[in-house]
Structure 1
C-alpha cells in the first residue's frame, strides 16, 4: 500500500477537520444549500486551470493514450460521485443544526464501520487487523466526540443518513478512480454537487450576493481547500487502496476538527478527548501495518 496515498488522504482529513470551523462561521451568513452550492462551484472552478495544464502535458507526451471508455467512466463516475457528495454534505449541514457537534462528529465517522460492512456485500474482504482498527477507531471517536448522554433525535438521524451517504461516496470513488483521471473526476463531481445544491438554494433560501460576500473567507477556504484540494486528494489517494483503510484515515477528520477548535477557537480538550485522539491514531497505524495476503 503506497505511503504516498496514505499521506494524501491524511492531508485531506486535516483540511476537512479545519473546514468545520469555516462551515460553522459561514452558516452565520448564508443557508446550508447556498453554502454547499457556492463552495462546490468554487472547488470545480479552481480545478479547471489544473486540468488544462495537465491536459496539455499529456497531449504533448502521448496523444494516443485516450480511450473512449475512459470518457464514459469519467462522466458517469463524476456525476455519481457528485450526487453522493451533494446528498451527504447537505444532510450533514442541516443535521448539525439539530444536534451537538460532538454527536454529529461521532455519527458521521460511523462510515468507518459502514464501509467494510457494505464492502462485504460487494465481495471485498478485510483482515482481522483492519476490523480491530475499526473497533479501536470507534472507541476513540466515542471518547473524543460524545460528551453527554447518547440519544437519537432529528439531527442525529439526519447525520446518520449522511454517514451512509459518505460510505457510498467512498465506495463509488473506489470503483471509478482507477478507471478515470482523478482531477477531472473531482471537477465533475463538484459541478454536479454545486448545481444540485443550487436548485434548492434558489427555491428555498433566495441567496443574496451581499450575504455571500460577507462569508467570503469561510466560503473560499471551503471551496478552494476543502473542495478543490482535499476531495481531489481523496480521489487520487484512494486509487488502488483498500476503501476500509481509506475511510479509517479520512475519519481522522474528527480528531483534527477538535484540535482545530482548540487551536483556532480556544476550545479546551479534556483528558478523555486526548485519549480518544491517541486511540484513533493507534487505529490508523494498526490498519497501515503490512499484512500477509490470505487467499
Structure 2
C-alpha cells in the first residue's frame, strides 16, 4: 500500500508539472525565465517555512545543508540548461532530449546508488524513450549547441532524481526540500541579474493576471507541494521508477494543451502517449506475476 501511495503521489506530481506547462509559457512572455523561476521558488520556500516547527534551525546539520544545496544546485542547472537550450533548438527536440533522463536515471542508479537493474526496467525505459520520440517527433538527424545544452539539462534532472533517492533516506523531507528550493531561487536570481535585462520590466508585468496566476499555481502546487512529495516518497520507490513516472509529464502537458487551448494530438502523438503510459505500467508486471503465483499456490 505504501508503494502504491508513493507511485500515485509521484504520478500526481507529473500531472501538476504537465498541467502547468501552458500557464508558465504565458507568464514568461512578461517575465524573463530566470526571474520567474527565482520568484516562484522563493515563494515556495516561504510557503513551506510556514509548516516547520519553531527553532527548526537547530535540526539543520552541516550534512543536511550540503545535501540540500547540492540538490538545489543541480535542479537549478536543469532549469537553466533547458531555458538557454530552448533559444537554439526546437521545443519538440528539447522535450525529447529532456525526456532522455528516463534512460539516464537507471544507469546513474547502477553507478551511484548501486541499485540492481531489473530487465523490465531497462525495457520500460526503452519503450518510454520511444514514446517520447513519437510524442515530440524530434528530428535528431542534426545536432546543434541547443541540443547539447538540453542534454546537459536531462543529465541534471536525472542526477537530481538519483541524489534525491540517496539523501531523502538520511534527512527530514521538509527541511531538505526547503533548503534545495531556496538554493534554486538564489541561483535563479543571480543568473537573472547577469543574463537577463530588467530595464523593460515594470510592476505592471509582475501584476499581470497571467503572471500572478502562474506564480500562485506553480509556487504552491508545482514547486512547494511537488518537490515535497518527490523528496518524501522517493524514500519508498526506486529512482528508475520515478524517472518513468515523471515521463508522463509531457503526456499530461499534451492533454492539458488539448483541454485549455484545443491543441489536438496527431496519431503519432497519441501513439507516443500510449507507449509512455505502457512503459510506466510495465514496471509492475513482475510484481503482479509473482502475486498471482502466490495466490495460485494457495
Q: TM-score, normalised by structure 2?
A: 0.87
5 Å-filtered alignment, 1:147-226, equals 148=139, 150-207=141-198, 208=201, 210=203, 211-214=205-208, 215-226=211-222
Equivalent residue, structure 2, for 1:280: 276
Contact 1:110 1:138 in 2 (8 A): yes
1:111–1:164: 8 Å Cα contact kept in structure 2?
yes
SS at match of 1:255: helix
Following TM superposition, by how much is the alpha carbon of 1:72 offset from its aligned partner in structure 2, in angstroms? 3.4
Q: Deviations over 1:120-146 (max 9, x none)?
A: 222221101111111110111111111
Deviation per CA, 1:160-197, whole angstroms, max 9, x where unpaired? 11000001111110110011111221111111110111
Query: Which 10-residue stretch deviates more, 33-42 or 233-242?
Result: 233-242
Q: Structure 1's 2 and 277: CA in aligned 2 closer, same or farther, altered over 3 A?
A: same
Matched, 1:144 2:135: yes
- What pairs with 1:121-140 in structure 2 (closer than 5 Å)? 121-122=111-112, 123-140=114-131
SS at match of 2:117: coil
* 2:293 alignment partner in structure 1: none
The answer to whether 1:100 aligns with 2:100 is: no
Q: Is the 8 A contact 1:36 1:90 kept in 2?
A: no
Structure 2 match to 1:24? 25
**Greater shift in the superposed pair: 244-253 or 255-264:** 255-264
**What is the CA-CA distance between 1:285 and the residue it aligns to?**
0.7
Contact 2:248–2:276 (8 Å) recurs in 1: yes
Q: Which runs of 5+ in 1 are unaligned?
A: 60-65
| Structure 2 unaligned blocks of 5 or more | 291-298
Secondary structure in structure 2 of the residue aligned to 1:227: helix
How many positions carry a matched residue from both structures? 281
